Chain A
Amino acid sequence: MPKRLASSLSDEVLEHVFSFIQSEKDRNVVSAVCKSWYEIERWCRRKIFVGNCYAVSPEMVIRRFPQVRSIELKGKPHFTDFNLVPDGWGGYVLPWITEMAGAYPWLDEIRLKRMVVTDESLELIAKSFKDFKVLVLASCEGFSTDGLAAIAASCKNLRELDLRESEVDDSSVHWLSHFPETYTSMVSLNISCLGSGEVSFSALERLVSRCPNLRSLKLNRAVPLDKTANILRLAPQLVEFSACTYSAELRSDVFSNLAGAFSNCKELRSLSGFWDVVPDYLPAIYSVCSRLTSLNLSYATILSPDLIKLVSHCPSLQRLLVLDYIEDSGLEALASNCKDLQELRVFPSDPFDAEPNASLTEQGLVAVSLGCPKLQSVLYFCRRMSNAALVTIAQNRPNLNRFRLCIIEPNTADYLTGEPFDVGFGAIVEHCKALIRLSLSGLLTDCVFEYIGKYAKKLEMLSVAFAGDSDLGLHHVLSGCESLRKLEIRDCPFGDKALLTNAAKLETMQSLWMSSCSVSFEACKLLSQKMPRLNVEVIDERGPPDSRPENCTVDKLYIYRSVAGPRFDMPPFVWTKDEDLALRLSP
């Protein structure tokens, strides 16, 4: 019966039906139904996401999916953001570009995160893909403005160029001028990471004025205030804007020019930048505030009274990023004014001072959890917390799906009771059943991991630091968290036992990072031998791990599943079980 049904629909009809299925997960399910569906699906899959560029090889991707138009790749582990991964670890995109240049002439979108991108890669992209439209380089490095010039010169249909948080070397080439005068397709441009020498204002203004579809523009820090107003006047259709170096003194002519420019922007929904802003200029944006859904003030040293005034003008706010200058009072104002708030991130203005720099405590977060019914995503840095507050937050907001708390000083206890935060985080995982991402901090015993293993069934990513008492903690997580994909751990007393007992679990996950823990090199070698589909990388700059005493623990460990086998581009400080030195990258 099912066989008849399957063959009664022609390939074209099935392909048409599949074209409505966009999500990767759904496509994967479709391809598993039967062989013919697998075949049809693989020929019509247009979009690929590879969460770990070493989990699969470009040849394998191309072999299975011959007609891809859009690819997203991620390279280095997340803890690279916190300088825990040494330079040169890997994540090179060139092998991928080289293969795709031949196989996917119609590729039009490349999105990369934490990868090493060279000018050679960018030149190859510019040369190989005739209809190239979207280039996103998030937290990437290894390229210069020369590479950008190649993209600008060749990609006449480029719609999106986003360099967010990448490191770009200045080769002194005026790359923006390489966009030909006939080029008018830019929709989204993010050059906020570039230094002052790397952008020519006149080229920028000419580019902006000839791109009528420009919706998102994120400029770098060095654009002065009068230029900012000019650019806004050239692009009143902007939806997202980031800029502004504010000068120190309020000049009424500059102010009114800026205010006028903003008032023209009826579509503006998202603002960021605000480096060096002086509060007296803030009223210049009041005309757009009522429509703003996203505000990033995490670079702005504005104090609480001015933040409160600003926030009270933004009732439609869904996303706020801000420094702890907002204080509890500011968060209370946020809670009363911004009922649509979905995401809140509060960063520390002075993380290295033992004394607090602003009056921000757990009370602010409790207020927002109570006042903002749509709050789903939290990233909060603070210096004190209580279990009572965490329990309240969990009960107020069971719809949280991302909860990242960083109590700045490691091993800080509940300031009211002196207890660890096991109960508090336990309440979070128990009440917030949709939680997919969690970061822990403060004093924590193995108990918190028992709660996490028991309740956090939807959890996909867990970050742990300075927590736990023994291997039991890690064991609870690995054996209990069914949906776990990424686990990153630093400075915890987790060792060989939990790892080896849960070896099979590791193959169901994308990756495990452990640094400054208690894992021995012997256990790593053993794990690697028994689990051929895991790449077990010991990252240790101190020298060969087996040259040290047997009970010496490895510095850093990165384990990830892969169908591509061991990689061939490992630097000298990455150690695997393979003694074959031919596999090493020669210095």
Chain B
Amino acid sequence: MESRRNPRAVVDPKVRQVGFFTSSQPDSSSTQQQQQQTDPIPASASSPPVSTISPSGNSLSPVMIPPPRLNSSDTFPLRGAAAGASSAVSPSSFSYSNRRDFPDGSTTASPGRHSRGSFVKSSAPVASSLPGIGMDSMAAAKSSSVPASGLTTVSVVTMPPGLAEKASGMEVQSDQKKNPKSLKEKTTKAERRAIQEAQRAAKAAAKADGGKVPPGTSASVASTSVKVAKPAKPSTQKNEVSVAAGVTEKKGGPSEKDRKKDAPHPRMQYDDESRVVKAKRRAVVKQTEAKNRVELFRHLPQYEHGTQLPDLETKFFQLDPMHPAVYKVGLQYLSGDISGGNARCIAMLQAFQEVVKDYSTPPEKNLNRDMTAKISSYVSFLIECRPLSISMGNAIRFVKNRIAKLPITLSESEAKAALQSDIERFINDKIIGADMVIVKHAVTKIRDGDVLLTYGSPTAVEMILLHAHELKKKFRVLVVDSRPKLEGQLLLRRLIKRGISCTYTHINAISYIMHEVTKVFLGASSVLSNGTVYSRVGTACVAMVASAFRVPVLVCCEAYKFHERVQLDSICSNELGDPNAISKVHGREDINYLDGLTNNANLQFLNLMYDATPSDYISMIITDYGMVPPTSVPVIVREYQKEHLLV
């Protein structure tokens, strides 16, 4: 439910800049209003906290399309409910942690801010000229929780580490003044109450947290809070918290912060040159863009394959903060040693388990926040190695959500154990367990004498076939394969070893063999909420031919791969593979017609990795929630996402 709102945060660059615009003048009337209405101020200030929980995870998902706009009034009750749900936890602490992870502002732009977007759009261009984005967002984070009355004093006293920030802090202030007004208009009484309750919980938690502030700072903050008028007291408390957060953050090495700030946008448009340049500057992996790219797919990243790996390898010891397990997984993604949605997801989760195991909270840091930051930096590294799959995006969201929801009261070792078992459970329940259930369902569809067709090497389908064979069902398998990966051969090898009778052919022959097929079993990288199946390139072709021959197409996909996004074509979001893979045939030196032409300006290679199969061609989707028609995917997405957050 929350996640539905999040995607909005990711999209519009104009909205992004809201946090750090400069020009608007302080509005005296709004200030007044604000001072009268002290309650809504913290409320509005705290609204980002709860809501940012899921965005932090969600923003990593590679597959975000802004859903239809919701009224912001619609979003508020949800927020309150979420706050209620996580009673033991302090929402405020998340909020700051999450903000810190993405000081970029792009990923954490909260609904509150978003609604403000219309207000300040005019001044956005000015903001974009500001150089210190990180600082600004820091200041923004701070001032968002600071009421206008207290801000000036606080910013003077409590910012020894970053005096330079003062100016920007002041600038942001004006933005904040406007903000409550706009929010206030849209919040109802009940919502405000819910928010306020959330805030109280936050305060309590923050007090415990505040102990970490260096004594000098906390004392000074305390003194300021005394000065402030009583009605504003809850908000100053918050203020202290935020300052404390700011201070502790300062202490955390700047390098790490930079990394966080630079978390690349998961769906960057790679035909936007300025952004590509920016992204390159912060990239860990040196990425040389391929020169001749197909016009239609310019927006997707394509690099000179073979340049990344050596470069990353040489940096092996220089990437200090990188965990070896993560590094290894990244290398394996990059070199193609691991492919396939499930395997990549499992490998990543296992690496994260290692990370959690070896983790120890640095002094003056909070486990929740620091760990989220760490995971984010690892994820951005993995994205550089290879764009995330949707399954991974969902898994990352899960991990981050679990970290954010760790009660602060837990000791470090308990928290680590809890996280490890959570990840373990995700692997066991959502991936392996799901596969078992899928197998159980799908096997009922296999009858004696069936001829089953499968394409590529989907894990779930392989398990189904093996299980059906164990049940002594009599069937034949047609393995359809395609260049350049030829994954089907591996599947074929394993099936034959078990004694299943197989036919192997390439996709070129699909229309000739389809007439003898009785059922088509396909795997999927993801199933989108309009029923579109996003899968290995060629799947759509198989499905369409099958549906033309009136052969039922069954797609096996674990529910954790479902995504709420809607996609109509396979152009706007896809992945480009190594162009050399299609231009060269390994081991066949006699077929070298393209030698020396790879850099020809008139020649462009397109090695697409995925395609989208429209739901019309799919008879049934087999998931761990049963066998459903593609039209029911939204239901599962909705139900599942809820469960996903509460697991």
Please determine whether chains A and B interact with each other in the same assembly.
no
